[in-house]
Amino acid sequence: MFKKLLIANRGEIAVRIIRAAREMGVRTVAVHSEVDALAPHVLLADEAVLLGPAPSSESYLRIDRLLEAARETGADAVHPGYGFLSERAPFARAVEDAGLVFVGPTPETIQAMGDKTEARRRMKEAGVPIVPGIVDPAASAEEARAAAEAMGFPVLLKATAGGGGKGMRVVEEPAALSRAFDAARREAEAAFGDGSVYVEKYLQRPRHVEIQVLGDVHGNVVHLGERECSIQRRHQKLVEEAPSPVLTPDERRAMGEAAVRAAAAVEYRGAGTVEFLYQDGEFFFLEMNTRLQVEHPVTELVTGLDLVQWQLRVAAGEALDFSQEQVRLQGHAIECRITSEDPANGFLPSTGVIGELRLPQGPGVRWDGGIEPGYEVGLHYDPLLGKLVVYGPDRPAALARLRRALDELVIPGIETCIPFHRRLLDETDFQEGDLSIRFLEEHPQVLEIRADADATRTAAIAAVLLEEEARRASTPARPAGSGGSQMSPWRAQGWPWNE
């Protein structure tokens, strides 16, 4: 195992990796920009290195500074987290060329699956179902129109190097294709430095279902079940759960086997995710994320496996010590992404200083966060503050627990998306698991958040908390040994078997 791990990331995922490494006896190095000097991940790590100014292009995206930080601190491995450089093949190659271990797949695997058209070609050869469409990028709008007319409208234009909804356009009719093609190319070029676009059939109401895979350097690959990620806004996931409320055992088995074939086709090493679109009993390969996913905690809760620790073990050369037959899914887990966005104002970013943070506790509740009281939320980075994850014996129990946990979660000082999640839980179709990636388009009332009502509620909670703090401050401390007990917050916010 490694002696020292550098985490090339920030926020809640850096905190998550540091905790996993510490449990394994691995020392950690945090990196940070000037505005993150006192961030939780910096304070939690054994060592910290300043990368540069606030803009990520001058700090977290500086490969040269990251490698310098590794050399300065004597780190022998680098974990990229997710986002930033996590799926950049040149970064993985630079890490390996520097004599360090990259905690993730090989540069060749990242490159092969990062090119959407190349990935589709490989998946087709591996017998993995793909969405009908062309394999190579369209050279022109005329070529794209010909392909679209051959498969039938509507179609989807997609950037070959895309992700996060960038470089994507839905085209309903031939007359709209040329303008959409040019717009998709411009957006793709600006976002990824590659304006290549291909065409595939547009599925009207699919679900987004993904399979977690884990592979080692000895050729073993297993899948750890699926996650339902259909609740999305502008192609960004908002809620994820495991297992999917719709898959049958046979469908789960078939999709899992397809994901294993996909991973084996590129000799996958580490934790990765094969994403599918599911509709009317059929599923189609969407893409592969060659990194840890934001939503990995729901898989951890239903399998009992620590995916970050398995990333480290695989990167250190260890073989998986369990087979596919030994993987068991138990219970149900749901994750809400908590962001510094105001749903009452079109999810505009919110900034400010975190006040007296109150986190939900109790059985089956987990908080993976990167904030603390006094932490200043700015506009430089992703708005993800943390992830509220709950576990229950079944989906109804998990939903009830999630409702309770959301009511307990208080993040004063900024606006957050918590009101959206509360509103979503009130929706009958969500409760019944009738989901698709069009859910929010079909249920616009979920986005109708009343700012005044939620502000009143938040203010009332804050007033009660302040009163409680004042009462505690005026109450003499209890002498040691005088009785009473308190559950450890680590245990209360931990795994479902802590129940």
DSSP type of residue 493: T
Indicate the SS3 state at residue 291.
coil
Supply φ then ψ for residue 282, to 5 degrees.
-115, 150
Extended strands (E) in 20-94: 27-33, 47-52, 77-79
Residues 69 and 8 sit within 8 Å (Cβ to Cβ): no
Out of 122, 269, 291, 401, pick the active-site residue. 291
How far, in Å, CA of 183 to CA of 85, rounded?
26
How many Å separate Cα 346 from the centre of its chain? 22
358 catalytic per annotation = no
The residue to which tokens 């994403």 are assigned = 275
The sign of the CA dihedral 379, 380, 383, 387 is negative
How far, in Å, CA of 274 to CA of 484, rounded?
49
Q: Which residues of 34-65 are buried (b: 16+ CB within 10 A; e: fewer)?
A: eebeebbbbebbebbbebbeeebeebbbbbeb
CB neighbourhood size of 264 (10 A): 15
How far, in Å, CA of 141 to CA of 147, rounded?
10
The set of catalytic residues is 291
